[in-house]
Amino acid sequence: MAKLSLFERRRRRVRTALRTRAGGKPRLSVHRTGKHIYAQIIDDGAGKTLASASTLGGKASGANVDAAKQVGSDIAAAAKKAGVTTVVFDRGGFLFHGRVKALADAAREGGLEF
């Protein structure tokens, strides 16, 4: 078996910790690439995506901090529309700074609790 990359090890560690603390809450999952940033609110119990936002079709474009803030406020609005108020934040294997932190802060300002 090949060794896991540092990113994959960090991702598994974060996901395992979330499962113990989630308590049935939906998960706000964040994924970023060099060109875009994506956010989804996922109900793991039902296996369904409740809300999503990204820089692909949204108002924001690019993969900078300002675009991440816009995606954060978009996901908070979509969550309110879907009736979700509390989530657990799944940063995946990404470190909590820069674009990921900007998205999380904007989602909190938009009314999501985590």
Structure pTM?
0.90
Give burial (CB, 10 Å; 0-12/13-18/19+) of 37.
buried
Report pLDDT for 78: 97
Distance CA 100, CA 98 (A): 6
Token reading at 95: 């470190």
Report pLDDT for 60: 74
Segments in the chain below pLDDT 50 = none
CA contacts within 13 A on the Cβ side of 60? 22
What percent of the chain is modeled with pLDDT above 90? 84
Report pLDDT for 58: 66
Domain boundaries, the chain: 6-12+26-110
Q: What is the CATH number of domain 6-12+26-110?
A: 3.30.420.100
Report pLDDT for 88: 96
